Amino acid sequence: MNDEHEHRSLVEGVKGDAKTKIVPVNVSSVGRIITSGRQSSVLDDWEIKWNDGSTDLHRLQNAASQVRQSDIPVAFPTETVYGLGADATRSEAVRGIFAAKNRPVDNPLIVHFHSLSQLRRFLPSSTDGTSDPIPAIYKPLIENFWPGPLTIILPTRDDGALASEVTAGLKTFGARIPRSFLALALLKLADVPMAAPSANASTKPSPTTAEHVLEDLDGRIHTILDGGPCSVGVESTVVDGLSSPPAILRPGGVTIEQLRTCAGWEDIVVGYKDSATIDGTAPRAPGMKYRHYSPKAPVLLYEAGTTQPSQEELLKATRKDTLTCCRYPLPLESTIEILEVDLGNTPESIARGLFSALRLLDRNGVDTIFLEGIDDTSGGELAAAVMNRVRKAAEVAVR
């Protein structure tokens, strides 16, 4: 079966079977985490005391069964963005992700685990057969940032424990343990590692609410678990500690300044470009290749420090009656309608609202989106992640 026919068959199979449903889940009704009291127990060996009979638990159990048994992925919230999850050990299930998103097959997927003990089962054994298979370079990061918005690059096993589609032909894969309790509970119930990119159509802005997922994937999947809006709003940071020096492959919820406080990561380098790159090589991590995060309307980015665009420049940029401006008012003629979106003045608030704002503007049918960039040269917070996303979304950047 060729890729095009397989993609069409998977999508038509969903459309012909059932309409996509948003399933609300109140995580406070599902259960609570039980640990041994050791500092590392949440990451290593932990359990959930389930609230048996809970409607919300029943909904999660149904979703977990779909992950284990179906080739149609399930959308669920994490602390970063909504993910599109499938059993990372089954090729048919992972191909369902690519079909639903219309995602290029050479774009690798991040695999989510519920614990370190589960992760270790999918790593190559140490040479002496006794030491920890997780490379020592990652131990400070795991202690400081897991569970949370950080993905680490790890070597794959030679026996195909993970589906080959996960790695896009690489000898490594990205792994993380999410902080979201709903995500952890789903992983625990499914008891399989879950490949889970963002739950949007490929190239579109990432989803931070269940409604965003429905906009893109209605009729392409069965179930969207609704746990409310995501708290971070941009994807996880991806780091490679197998290279020397260590590199950050995608900026996200953990900053480069935070990483540099960890032993062995003081000299971490930036290994990504903010613009999309198209060449014949497979990207080392998601988000390194192709255009991403793009709304329907063309985006013109004015980098921090550039002069506010004049009326003539804005009129030249569009031939229709609607312009969009973020953050500042502009003295335009009455024939031009301005829709202004203020995302706040901190990288955290901008990160939480960026993708929602781009989707809102698309729903309003705007002709052009003008974005005012923020300063990411001094580092700190999520500025680098925000600017990485908007630069990939922009068709034109004014510097």
Which residues belong to the annotated binding site for L-threonine? 80, 112, 176, 236
Q: Which residues are annotated as a binding site for ATP?
A: 103, 107, 172, 196, 198, 206, 250, 293
Sign of the CA dihedral 164, 167, 170, 174?
negative
Give the Cα separation of 327 and 30 in Å (integer). 40
Nearest to 109 by CA among 55, 73, 141: 73
Binding site listing? 80, 103, 107, 112, 172, 176, 196, 198, 206, 236, 250, 293
- Residues 217, 200: contact at Cβ < 8 Å? yes
Between CA 201 and CA 217 the distance in angstroms is 7
Locate the DSSP E strands across the chain: 21-24, 31-34, 47-50, 74-77, 82-87, 110-112, 150-155, 172-176, 194-195, 223-226, 237-240, 247-250, 269-270, 299-302, 322-326, 337-341, 369-372, 396-398
Judge residue 129's burial from the number of C-beta atoms within 10 Å of its C-beta, 0-12 exposed, 13-18 middle, 19 or more buried.
exposed
